[in-house]
């Protein structure tokens, strides 16, 4: 990894100009942000949208932020096959079930695994859907409040004029810093809304907390086997047959968060804060849902 000059902080400040339109969808192309109204949606269990808002992310002119950017570059350069499958499996981009739907599908697995009655399913999906709903409110409130830059924007500015290792769209190679791109399909390399906190992490941790509490155990036992080539990297023949497995709900949530690091979508801080936020939201939403079906005020 090249050493940056003392002028890197000024380059970082330039990135601020791009934070308002953070969804880079191709070289020279941007999209307006999605979902800024979510912070104003009425929650199910939260007292307010910002009830569990974490501390602000690292300032973009800090050494810690630079270290996080270096970390994303290094992680993507060193991706193994399993990590690439992980990044694509959890991507849940346009025309998919999206992260909330992903966990509803996991709940369907739990229902079949545990031979649920209709009443059990009604309770489980009621708690799960409302926890995910409140996670969306809490996460998007953070995104709007902190308005934090995505890796693709920060890295292109911080490493401008430098030669670094990165994904070219077909392979990993030494590239110009301003050409760095996430390990994602070319049609949707980065979501068009701020980075902090990670939505995948918030949704997943909230859902995992509900499923853990409802079933009385963190045990999950779910798995996924990659059926063929990756959409991101069709030439990676060894991806087919790679299996991801999750012994616990918590492990699945953690992997969902990590996948965004592998895919170059989030910084470590956005993932960690999103997971912590999601767990708090999930716990509160489950308690409220349980109060409803138990007849408590």
Domains located in the chain, CATH noted: 1-13+62-78+151-190 (no CATH), 81-149+191-297 (1.10.606.20)
Quote the pLDDT of residue 37.
85
Q: At what angle do helices 151-158 and 63-77 cross, to 10 degrees?
A: 100
Q: What does the CA dihedral 63, 68, 73, 76 come to, rounded to 10 degrees? A: 170
Quote the pLDDT of residue 34.
80
Token reading at 192: 């068009």
Token reading at 201: 């992490």
> Measured between alpha carbons, how far is 11 from 59 in angstroms, rounded to an integer?
13
**pLDDT averages per 10-residue partition of the chain, 297 residues:** 40 41 42 78 97 97 96 96 98 93 98 98 98 98 95 97 96 96 93 95 98 98 97 96 98 98 97 98 98 89
> Measured between alpha carbons, how far is 218 from 104 in angstroms, rounded to an integer?
16
Measuring CA to CA, which residue among 53, 14, 64 is closest to residue 146? 53
Quote the pLDDT of residue 10.
46
User: Cα angle at 28 between 26 and 29, to 5 degrees?
Assistant: 55
Quote the pLDDT of residue 9.
42
DSSP annotation string for 28-87: TEEE--S-GGGGGSPPSS-SSTTTTPPPPPPPTTSHHHHHHHHHHHHHHHT--HHHHHHH
φ/ψ (deg, to 5) at 216: 80, 10
């Amino acid at each position: 990894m090249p050493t940056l000059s003392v002028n890197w902080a000024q380059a970082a400040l330039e990135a601020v100009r791009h934070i308002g339109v953070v969804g880079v969808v191709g070289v020279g192309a941007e999209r307006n942000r999605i979902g800024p109204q979510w912070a104003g949606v009425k929650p199910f269990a939260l007292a307010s949208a910002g009830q569990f808002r974490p501390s602000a992310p690292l300032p973009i002119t800090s050494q810690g932020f630079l270290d996080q950017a270096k970390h994303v570059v290094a992680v993507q350069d060193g991706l193994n096959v399993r990590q690439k499958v992980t990044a694509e499996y959890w991507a849940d981009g346009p025309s998919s079930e999206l992260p909330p739907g992903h966990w509803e599908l996991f709940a369907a697995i739990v229902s079949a695994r545990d031979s649920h009655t209709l009443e059990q399913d009604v309770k489980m999906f009621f708690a799960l859907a409302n926890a995910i709903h409140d996670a969306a409110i809490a996460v998007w409130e953070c995104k709007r409040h902190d308005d934090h830059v995505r890796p693709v924007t920060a890295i292109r500015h911080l490493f401008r004029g430098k030669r670094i290792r990165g994904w070219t769209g077909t392979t990993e190679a030494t590239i110009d810093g301003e050409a760095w791109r996430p390990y994602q399909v070319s049609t949707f390399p980065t979501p068009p809304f701020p980075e902090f906190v990670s939505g995948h992490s918030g949704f997943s941790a909230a859902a995992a907390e509900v499923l853990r509490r409802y079933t009385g155990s963190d045990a999950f036992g779910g798995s996924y086997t990659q059926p063929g080539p990756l959409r991101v990297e069709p030439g990676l023949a060894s991806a087919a047959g790679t299996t991801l497995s999750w012994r616990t709900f918590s492990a699945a949530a953690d992997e969902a968060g990590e996948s965004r690091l592998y895919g170059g979508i989030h910084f470590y801080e956005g993932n960690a804060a999103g997971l912590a936020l999601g767990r708090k939201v999930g716990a509160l939403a489950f308690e409220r849902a349980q109060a409803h079906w138990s007849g408590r005020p």
